[in-house]
A and B are shown apart, each in its own frame.
Chain A
Amino acid sequence: DIQMTQSPSSLSASVGDTVTITCRASQGISIYLAWYQQKPGRVPKLLVYAATNLQSGVPSRFSGSGSGTHFTLTITNLQPEDVATYYCQKYNSAPRITFGPGTKVEIK
């Protein structure tokens, strides 16, 4: 099975900072990678699909990049409302749809 890892597992940054979260697949998954944001006590929300496509309505300070085995989610100009846990998800083939372990983002 393809394993998904994320780094870091948590981070603390200041408002206005640029934050980068990395997601790695143990084998190539082309661009079949999505990113989700889950705020405390809330339902997950799709941010990015197909590695780089921003979901409608998501602020442009969020961006995704990568292909194959290495992907990144970048948040520029970090805002207080971005406090959340971020998950990557691979979907290149069922039955192996897999979420990464998550990255918790906090504000300093």
Chain B
Amino acid sequence: QVQLVESGGGVVQPGRSLTLSCAASDFTFSTYAMHWVRQAPGEGLEWVAAISYDGSEESYADSVKGRFTISRDNSKNTAYLQMSSLRAEDTAVFYCAKGGERYSHGSTYINSWGQGTLVTVSS
């Protein structure tokens, strides 16, 4: 059973930075693309970023491009989302998610989700 455990959420002031981590287990992490998806309170799902299985390609939603950076460490089975210049509208539950196809460069559906970590941007 795939396990994805996010950490690093919390309350942060506007303009500050925060890094989320996603610890993965029970699957071959290094062969799957990973995604971050967020959901603002009472709102729908918004795809944020994806990284290819080998870390060679990254992709971002326009709303976070230039402010967020996705990365991964295949030796640690962990994905990351570095968030900077945070805004109130970034307040959301952030989900780490696993791509559904092996050796994808990012354009995949998602077949496993973590439980999410809440990021609140507020002064």
Complex interface: chain B residues within 8 A of A46 (CB): 100, 109-111
List A residues 8-27 near B (Cβ within 8 Å).
none
From B46, B57, B113, contact of A99 by CB (8 A): B46
Complex interface: chain B residues within 8 A of A45 (CB): 113
Given A94-B105, A97-B59, check contact A87 B45 (CB 8 Å): yes
- B116 on interface, CB distance cutoff 8 Å: yes
From A1, A38, A94, contact of B45 by CB (8 A): A38
- B77 on interface, CB distance cutoff 8 Å: no
From B47, B57, B65, B100, contact of A49 by CB (8 A): B100
- B95 on interface, CB distance cutoff 8 Å: yes
- A34 on interface, CB distance cutoff 8 Å: yes
- B3 on interface, CB distance cutoff 8 Å: no
Binding site for A on B (CB under 8 A): 35, 37, 44-47, 50, 57, 59-62, 65, 95, 100, 105-111, 113-116
Binding site for B on A (CB under 8 A): 1, 32, 34, 36, 38, 43-46, 49-50, 55, 85, 87, 89, 91-95, 97-102
